[in-house]
């Protein structure tokens, strides 16, 4: 089966191939499978699993096709369209960012090299928080392994043409999970406790993406998140950037950002906080995109 469900219009400043290159940065990614033409991902629509494929065969349209599962209702297709638009940040005008980059000696070559790259987001708050928590103080490879284990153990899956596709676990999946069970997957006790805490808050309706987006500012959303034990400024800023679509989020404590600036500027050490903040003064309103493009330069 490969039935076209609908098409999405794309902005001119979008390059699917460049986004796919980014999404292929780790062979350990377990939530989608990328090839040179598109990406396949398992969703739940109308309470049932459906395997979806995204391609951009020509022009400024993305084709969204059904590979496996029942045809979603029009309402569920509309939800899927919203998810995809947020996943690839399709509703943002990047012209101001590229204008800014053209005047910035650090960003200009990156903007030219990766033109059309969007921040590939994580629209689901629980997934975004868990990914950030898993990535605390470990290298990217180990973070991916932790995500693989967590997803295989508590998520849902579908087999299709020799591949297993996974959906990230829902918060409800952790209601009866113990900290010891998560530690058996090699999570630290602190990470296990934080994930269980976040899952409980979300199941009880005490934390949601909608609530965070309705707060008066992204800074207040960050303040709300850091009240949760185990979530610090870096984790909250990462979630602002990847889930809450805040282009001004600036995770200055990020080691990858520091390494990218060190490498690209030829420094003999990582930049300190003050030096990063000074750099960021020229990126006002676009700090998250500057960070994302700097990360991209590392691999």
Is residue 275 assigned to a domain? no
Inter-residue contact 158 to 49 (CB < 8 Å): yes
**In which residue are the tokens 């034990």 written?**
229
What percentage of the chain exceeds 90 in pLDDT?
A: 94
- pLDDT for residue 299: 80
Please report, for the domain that includes residue 51, its CATH number: 3.30.310.20
- Residue-wise pLDDT tens digits, 234-259: 999 999 999 999 999 999 999 999 99
Segment 214-225 shows an average pLDDT of: 97
pLDDT of the residue at 2: 78
In a domain, 245, yes or no: no
Query: Could you report the per-residue pLDDT of 176-216, keeping only the tens digit for each?
Result: 999 999 999 999 999 999 999 999 999 999 999 999 999 99
pLDDT number for residue 91 = 97
What's the whole-number average pLDDT of the chain? Answer: 96
Is the predicted pLDDT of residue 151 greater than 70, yes or no?
Answer: yes
- Give the span between the Cα atoms of 299 and 296, in whole angstroms: 6
Going from the C-alpha of 287 to that of each of 167, 235, 262, 271, 298, the distances in angstroms are 30, 16, 17, 16, 17
Measured distance CA(134)–CA(146) in Å, rounded: 7
Q: Are residues 83 and 130 in the same domain?
A: no
- Into how many domains does the chain fold? 2
225-234 contacts: CB < 8 A, separation 24 or more? 225/129, 228/194, 228/197, 228/198, 228/201, 229/193, 229/194, 229/197, 230/133, 230/190, 230/191, 230/193, 230/194, 230/197, 231/129, 231/133, 231/194, 231/198, 232/136, 234/132, 234/136
pLDDT of residue 204: 97
The pLDDT score that the predictor gives to residue 123 is 98
- The answer to whether 52 and 39 are in contact (CB under 8 A) is no
Q: What is the pLDDT of residue 71?
A: 96
Catalytic positions, please? 254
Nearest to 173 by CA among 192, 148, 194, 200: 200
pTM, to two decimals: 0.95
Domain carrying residue 149: 125-210
Residues 6+ apart with CB under 8 A from 151: 30, 31, 166, 167, 168, 169
Query: pLDDT digit string (tens) for 12-30?
Result: 999 999 999 999 999 999 9
Clarify whether residues 192 and 135 are in a common domain: yes
> What pLDDT does 156 receive?
96
pLDDT tens digits, 275-290: 999 999 999 999 999 9
The whole-number pLDDT of residue 1 equals 59
Confirm if 41 and 66 have CB atoms less than 8 A apart: no
pLDDT at position 58, please?
Answer: 83
> If you write DSSP's letter for every residue of 229-273 in order, what string do you get?
TT--HHHHHHHHHHTS--TT---TT-HHHHHHHHHHHT-SS---H
- The reply to whether 133 and 83 lie within a common domain is no
Q: Does the pLDDT at position 293 exceed 80?
A: yes
**pLDDT score, position 35:** 94
DSSP codes, 182-235: HHTTT--HHHHHHHHHHHHHHHTTS--HHHHHHSSSHHHHHHHHHTSTT--HHH
CATH code: domain of residue 135: 1.10.340.30
Mean pLDDT of 81-105: 97
């Amino acid at each position: 089966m490969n039935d076209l469900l609908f098409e999405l219009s794309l902005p001119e400043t979008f390059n699917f191939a460049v986004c796919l290159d980014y999404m292929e940065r780790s062979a350990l990614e377990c939530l989608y499978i990328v090839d040179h033409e598109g990406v396949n991902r398992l969703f739940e629509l109308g309470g049932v699993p459906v395997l979806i494929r995204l391609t951009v065969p020509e022009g400024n349209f993305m084709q969204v096709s059904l590979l496996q599962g029942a045809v979603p209702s029009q309402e569920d297709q509309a939800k899927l369209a919203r998810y995809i638009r947020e996943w690839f940040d399709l509703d943002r005008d990047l012209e101001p960012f590229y204008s800014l980059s053209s005047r910035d000696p650090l960003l200009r070559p990156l903007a030219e090299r990766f033109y059309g790259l969007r921040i590939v987001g994580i629209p689901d708050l629980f997934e975004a928080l868990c990914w950030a928590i898993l990535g605390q103080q470990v290298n990217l490879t180990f973070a991916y392994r932790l995500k693989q284990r967590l997803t295989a153990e508590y998520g849902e899956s579908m087999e299709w043409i020799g591949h297993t596709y996974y959906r990230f676990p829902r918060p409800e999946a952790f209601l009866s999970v113990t900290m010891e069970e998560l530690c058996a997957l090699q999570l630290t006790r602190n990470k296990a406790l934080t994930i269980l805490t976040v899952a409980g808050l979300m199941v009880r309706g005490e934390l949601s993406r909608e609530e965070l987006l309705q707060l008066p500012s992204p800074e207040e959303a960050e303040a709300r998140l850091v009240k949760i034990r185990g979530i610090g400024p870096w984790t909250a800023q990462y979630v602002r950037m990847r889930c809450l679509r805040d282009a001004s989020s600036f995770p200055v404590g990020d080691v990858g950002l520091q390494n990218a600036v060190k490498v690209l500027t030829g420094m003999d050490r990582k930049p300190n906080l003050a030096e990063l903040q000074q750099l960021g003064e020229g990126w006002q309103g676009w700090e998250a995109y500057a960070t994302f493009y700097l990360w991209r330069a590392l691999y």
